Every structure is written in C-alpha cells, then in structure tokens.
Amino acid sequence: QVQLVESGGGLVQAGGSLRLSCAASGRSFSSNTMGWFRQAPGEERQSVATISARSDHQYYTDSVKGRFTISRDNAKNTMYLQMNGLKPEDTTVYYCGAVHNATQPMALLTPFEYDYWGQGTHVTVSS
C-alpha cells in the first residue's frame, strides 16, 4: 500500500505561482510512476502531468506545458508540481496519484491507470 498526502494549495492571483507537494509513505516510493491530476465538480478527473520513477520521463497535458513542472525527490519521498503563470481556469482540486507496477511510462497516463490517490488540495486563481 501507498499513502499519499497533498499540500501547498491555496489562493493566488492570476499570473502568480504555487508549489504543490505530495508526500508518500507505506511502500517503495522510488519504483512508482506518479502523476498530478485535477478534477472540477461534476467533471472527470484529468491528467495534468506524469513522471517516471527516475524522473527521466515527464509528460504534460497541453494546457499546462511551459507553465507547470513536475518533479520528485525520491530521497525525501516527495513529488512536486511547480505551477507558474497561473490562470483562473487552473482553479480546481489537484490530486496526486501513484501506479502500483514499476513500469516506465511512455506517455501521459490517464487516471484509470493509477492505483493510489491522495485526498486532494484546492487551488484557486483569482481574476
């Protein structure tokens, strides 16, 4: 089992930045593909970014390319999402997820391919 806890969400003005963190525990963190997702009320959960276990493969949805950066520090059992140039349309709940199998991602993975989830952290971008 893997337990995931997100943090770092909050209120920021358009054009500002936030850094989300996802702390993992309970199993081998370094062998898991992980990702960030967002889900608005009444909508499907959507993939934002995917990162491989060794950080050598990273994938992003088109709407965040050039603005968001996914990273991980396996020594600290923590994954991050640096969000710059935030827009009002980025407002929603952000979740982190982990894949059970130690496989190398070849593209941005869908939420259906993930096995473990955090509880989410809310991001609100004003104006």
DSSP 110: P
- Give the position of tokens 């935030």: 86
Task: Using DSSP, state whether 17 is helix, strand or coil.
Answer: coil
Query: Is pLDDT of 101 > 90?
Result: no
More confident residue, 27 or 90: 90
- The span from the CA of 95 to the CA of 6, in Å, is 7
User: Tokens for 116?
Assistant: 């473990």
Mean pLDDT of 116-123: 97
Per-residue pLDDT tens digits for 4-54: 999 999 999 999 999 999 999 976 677 889 999 999 989 999 999 999 999
Task: Using DSSP, state whether 104 is helix, strand or coil.
Answer: coil
Report percent pLDDT > 90 for the chain. 86
